[in-house]
Structure 1
Amino acid sequence: MTSANILAIDQGTSGTKALVVCPERGVIGSGEAAVRPRYGSGGLVEQDPGELLRSVLDAGREAVAAAGEPVAAVGLANQGETVLAWDPATGEALTDAIVWQDRRAQSVCDELAGEAGRLARLSGLPLDPYFAAPKMAWLRRHLTREGVVTTSDSWLVHRLTGAFVTDASTASRTMLLDLDGTEWSPEALEIFGLGGERLPDVVDAAGVFGETDAFGASVPLTGLLVDQQAALLAQGCVEEGSAKCTYGTGAFLLANAGPRPVRSSAGLAACVAWRFAGRPAYCLDGQVYTVASAVRWLTDLGVIGGAEDLDRLGGSVPDSGGVTFVPAFAGLAAPSWRGDVRASVSGLGLDTTPAHVVRALCDGIAAQVVELAGAMASDLGRPLTSLRVDGGLTRSKVLMQTQADLLQLPVEVYASPDATALGVAAAARMGLDPGLTAAGATVRGAPSAVYEPRAGAGEAADRLGAYAAAVRALLLTKDGANTAGPAKDETEENL
């Protein structure tokens, strides 16, 4: 069974990527379909559920057609914290999908601020609109009381197979899972006013969850994982303390914390990495909300032509020319958890060029990852010794060299830009062969590139200091505005 082809589907924020993966020959077919989130006032970020489903079907069918061979099973990775309401009898969506970046549930979090400590003990997560439960509660208050409200994976799985499930890693991103028992917490549900909700069964990442004929002949769905944990698995981070960072719409730094949950004292999220054969492994997770989405913002403004300009322009100047860019377009995530803060660009002069802004953006992204790495080292009791990276923006040599320089550690680039899909392929293969281990299901291989630090420790400290000073200025400005009177519209960028 382990030699069978797997259709691995990564349903992400800006698109769906599907791969047909053969354990001997690697990727033998691929497909892709774009998804465009909608942005609006008040922190709104939504997606059309029909577009999400079509992207899964189109990308999957394209990959199978490109492979020209049958598949034995399907694996599905998902966005994690994106939620919607839907009718379990018909499968029809009742609302748009509220994307993980959406901030409208801040009002729910403000009301529950006094419960933040109890929720952190139960779920391992800080109270923030980023996670699913505040969005679910907000949706129930403002959009509909009908149907069920779940993360997007449960709806997609239901549309594909009729099953009503979510895996433990995705459930751990809701704030509703008891982190120790990896089952739904009645206490957390009551806190969010969701005690009467019908929730999907919490299942392992590998198993047989139903059958689908959406991509040809009927085959089982055998792998389910949230996207970042799938990338952690693909990167071979199965040993305690190993870490990876994915650079996509956002950047996500995860470290394997072992078989017991480690509640963070440094502002990180503690969650389930995966659960196989009923045995969970845990991880610590830090987030940068806007990475590729910040690149897209610069592109939409006409400052750059696209992601390729990170190297074409960024490589044309030696540094940022004194410009500092805090790309907090959707707020600051871990360890600050300040969703009310917005992006800033400072230090502009008449000699500033788009190339300097690009270099400043790379510094801003990398500086946030360095901050997360420091928090992770504090929680784990030891520093990281290297960083494994994946995702589309790892193609940028300027960004990756910047990351190595500011982190002062080697940065090892995963050989494929599709770590998430390859990780859920490994889980799906374990679902077909219960005797297969996580280590045995993944083949990491040599990195495609390794970036060693070129900047000295002093220079790195100076650049990190400039970024930290810009963040402090934003926080002081925001806190002062909140004290003095009504805050500005949270959709404004402080540019």
Structure 2
Amino acid sequence: MTGPVLAVDQGTSGTKALVICPERGVIGTGFAAVHTRRLPGGLVETGPEELYESVLVAGRRAVAEADEPIAALGLANQGETVLAWDPDTGLPLSDALVWQDRRAAGVCAELAEHAEELRQLTGLPLDPYFAAPKMAWIRRHLTRDGVVTTSDAWLVHRLTGTFVTDAATAGRTQLLDLDRTAWSPRALELYGLSGERLPEVVDAAGHIGTTTAFGPRIPLTGLVVDQQAALFAQRITAPGGAKCTYGTGAFLLAHTGEQPRRGGSGLVSCVAWRLAGRTSYCLDGQVYTAASAVRWLTDLGVITGAADLDRVGAGVPDSGGVTFVPALAGLAAPWWRGDLRGSLTGLGLDTRAGHLVRALCEGLAAQVVELAEAAARDLGTPLDVLRVDGGLTRSALLMQTQADLLQRPVEVSALPDATALGAGALARLGAEPGLTVPEALPDWKPSAVYEPRVSSDEAAERLAVFRAEVGVLLDRRPA
């Protein structure tokens, strides 16, 4: 293959598309916003047609800007967002329940006695964050018609007419046997989904179908969940490395090799990707609100957007005694208390906007430290360095805070769109069977490296304050 690939990252707040040339890099870009509805009771949903339209708009813009024939298509998806749809017409039968949605908490409560069985089988804790509880909820409360799947299967069907999902995305459902990377009859039985028609589980790279949605016929040859796409682009393809993507949420993944690691530290054991029938695994930790917490602060009028973090935060030397646990959609790994709400403590008449900004940065960074330390415990070895990507890495304040609390170097990727680039690399692999993984991956280098500037004792003190506030939240009864 000599031509460029179109890489599409369908995310929570928008869809980003890149046209990537193997020799010249990114030669076309496109973006289309997606609007999510955040409703009382932890409900987060979006219109499926808007998701699909955003893929078309972003992809067509990138293709038009590149103005060159496209050789292949790669698609990354949100992972745990689900909907019901008609496989005959392709039309949606429900809204899309976004990964942050909590309405399936009751389904999880009913399965509490099977939580450990499901974790051993699928690698995932019992939580409405994952797809299966939402799928079961849709079947109970919205419709019994059509099929109910993660959003990628619907998007792929609309684009190509095929009915598939990749192994990594299937692993986000809590319906996949982690060891076999095949649908688990037992998990389906527990969720009351035994009769469901589920998509075929395929490799992340290979010929999946063809589409004319972006102009002339293009083969779809790359398919993967978003965070694993970023892990791939960051060249973390063997044990020993970890990355964190700061997007709507923050997601830390550590590669564990070709055997799943079911640790006891609260992290998720899941599929990184399956290539040529061989599965790689990773540990996964989540922070539910990162950029969405910044957006919350913006909506309150404290700042005008993420670009304000450094300017406003620079107005004060520290957080002024303010501690922010930004659990605005609950606490994810390693605690798994999605029922909790965030806390903001230590406020006084002298509290300024800069203190709130710094407290938010500390709260986000402290949660990522918890994930990194949990990964180190499960792996039996500390992480030497953390590679990071995503929109919030543009904040020097947040990245320096991360390095300070982690007490490790933080390498900011020079690839601002790692998820799309990972999907593009997989598309190249799928279109060129003789290509090796290193040949398909983009060159990696940091745009900046943040070294810790505080002592380990000071970092420990700041983390202890944060952990004490988390402890107060954890002592509350489940809602």
Distance apart, 1:18 and its partner CA = 0.1
Is 1:411 the counterpart of 2:410? The answer is yes
- Deviation by residue 1:191-220 (Cα, 9 ceiling, x = unmatched): 100000000000000011100000010010
Partner amino acid, structure 1, of 2:367: Q
What CA distance in whole angstroms lies between the structure 2 residues aligned with 1:465 and 1:439? 41
Distance apart, 1:445 and its partner CA = 2.5
1:211 counterpart residue number: 210
What CA distance in whole angstroms lies between the structure 2 residues aligned with 1:316 and 1:206? 48
What CA distance in whole angstroms lies between the structure 2 residues aligned with 1:43 and 1:174? 19
1:493 counterpart residue number: none
What CA distance in whole angstroms lies between the structure 2 residues aligned with 1:33 and 1:264? 39
Q: Secondary structure at the match of 2:256?
A: strand
Q: Secondary structure at the match of 1:458?
A: helix
Alignment of 1:30-179 (within 5 A): 30-179=29-178
What CA distance in whole angstroms lies between the structure 1 residues aligned with 2:80 and 2:197? 18
TM-score, normalising length from structure 1? 0.96
Q: Secondary structure at the match of 1:385?
A: coil
Distance apart, 1:347 and its partner CA = 0.3
Partner amino acid, structure 1, of 2:448: A
Alignment of 1:255-334 (within 5 A): 255-334=254-333
Distance apart, 1:262 and its partner CA = 0.7
- Higher alpha-carbon deviation: 218-227 or 312-321: 312-321
Distance apart, 1:434 and its partner CA = 1.3
Q: Secondary structure at the match of 2:6?
A: strand
Distance apart, 1:4 and its partner CA = 2.0
Is 1:336 the counterpart of 2:335? The answer is yes
What CA distance in whole angstroms lies between the structure 1 residues aligned with 2:413 and 2:222? 21
What CA distance in whole angstroms lies between the structure 2 residues aligned with 1:310 and 1:412? 19
What CA distance in whole angstroms lies between the structure 2 residues aligned with 1:221 and 1:227? 16
Distance apart, 1:50 and its partner CA = 0.8
- Deviation by residue 1:379-413 (Cα, 9 ceiling, x = unmatched): 10100000000000000000000000000000001
Partner amino acid, structure 2, of 1:133: A
2:237 counterpart residue number: 238
- Deviation by residue 1:294-317 (Cα, 9 ceiling, x = unmatched): 000111111111101111111222
**1:238, 1:439 within 8 Å by CA — same for their partners in 2?**
no
1:229 counterpart residue number: 228
What CA distance in whole angstroms lies between the structure 1 residues aligned with 2:240 and 2:351? 41
- Deviation by residue 1:240-276 (Cα, 9 ceiling, x = unmatched): 1211000000000000010111112111000000000
What CA distance in whole angstroms lies between the structure 1 residues aligned with 2:355 and 2:32? 33
Alignment of 1:424-443 (within 5 A): 424-443=423-442
Q: CA RMSD in A?
A: 0.8
Is 1:353 the counterpart of 2:352? The answer is yes
- Higher alpha-carbon deviation: 442-451 or 118-127: 442-451
Partner amino acid, structure 2, of 1:193: G
What CA distance in whole angstroms lies between the structure 1 residues aligned with 2:141 and 2:240? 42
2:22 counterpart residue number: 23
What CA distance in whole angstroms lies between the structure 2 residues aligned with 1:445 and 1:468? 34
Q: What 5-or-longer segments of structure 2 have no aligned partner?
A: none
What CA distance in whole angstroms lies between the structure 2 residues aligned with 1:445 and 1:193? 45
- Deviation by residue 1:164-188 (Cα, 9 ceiling, x = unmatched): 0000000000000000000100111
1:468 counterpart residue number: 467
Partner amino acid, structure 2, of 1:234: A
**2:206, 2:222 within 8 Å by CA — same for their partners in 1?**
yes
2:387 counterpart residue number: 388
2:182 counterpart residue number: 183
**1:289, 1:328 within 8 Å by CA — same for their partners in 2?**
yes
The list of structure 1 runs, each at least 4 consecutive aligned residues, that deviate by more than 6 angstroms after superposition, is none
1:492 counterpart residue number: none
1:490 counterpart residue number: none
Distance apart, 1:43 and its partner CA = 1.1
What CA distance in whole angstroms lies between the structure 2 residues aligned with 1:321 and 1:389? 27
Distance apart, 1:340 and its partner CA = 1.0
Q: How many residues align?
A: 479
Is 1:197 the counterpart of 2:196? The answer is yes
**1:124, 1:264 within 8 Å by CA — same for their partners in 2?**
no
Distance apart, 1:444 and its partner CA = 3.2
Identity, in percent, stands at 71
Q: What 5-or-longer segments of structure 1 have no aligned partner?
A: 488-495
Q: Secondary structure at the match of 1:193?
A: coil
Q: Secondary structure at the match of 1:337?
A: coil
